[in-house]
Amino acid sequence: MNIERVTDINEILKCLPFEQEVRDKGRDTMKISDMLFFLKDQIGNPMFGFWMAYDDEDDIIGYLSAMMVLLPGMKKLHLLRLYAKDSIVLAAFRDVVKVFCKDFKVKTVMISVSKNVRAIKRKYGFKPVSVTMEMEL
């Protein structure tokens, strides 16, 4: 397995089949075009990272995108997307996250989910600590 921090939008495009599957399952409603615009805009930001995991045949076995927030009282790493084919890839991504957080002296990682809260808790080790609410204007 090889994990690389990706800074080329063309490499990120290889994740589109996985992203389409996420949308087909109703786990994300953001348009893929909006997601790509965001990624292209943030790819040079040192507080943003996109990592891809490849197997020995260079097939994608996982990817992770995350953004650091350093505002006082809100200093956290926000995981925007985490896909890991198996527990070995997940463990490797945890190591990547630890190194990224250490560089910014951040100790808290968060992820927002709208479905499968128990599965995220069990599979990835997150625990619910608050409720995110929203209102349409």
Extract the tokens encoding 3: 């994990």
Query: Span 100-118, mean pLDDT?
Result: 86
Instruction: Give the three-state DSSP class for 67.
Output: strand
**Cα–Cα distance measured from residue 77 to residue 94, given in angstroms and rounded to the nearest whole number:** 12
Report the run of H or E that residue 1 belongs to, with start and end: none
What are the pLDDT digits (tens) for 23-50?
888 888 889 999 999 999 999 999 999 9
The structural domains of the chain, ordered by start, are: 2-124 (3.40.630.30)
- pTM for this predicted structure: 0.85
Instruction: Assess contact for 86 and 40: CB atoms under 8 A.
Output: no
Sole residue written with tokens 């290889």: 14
What are the pLDDT digits (tens) for 48-81?
999 999 999 999 999 999 999 999 988 999 999 9
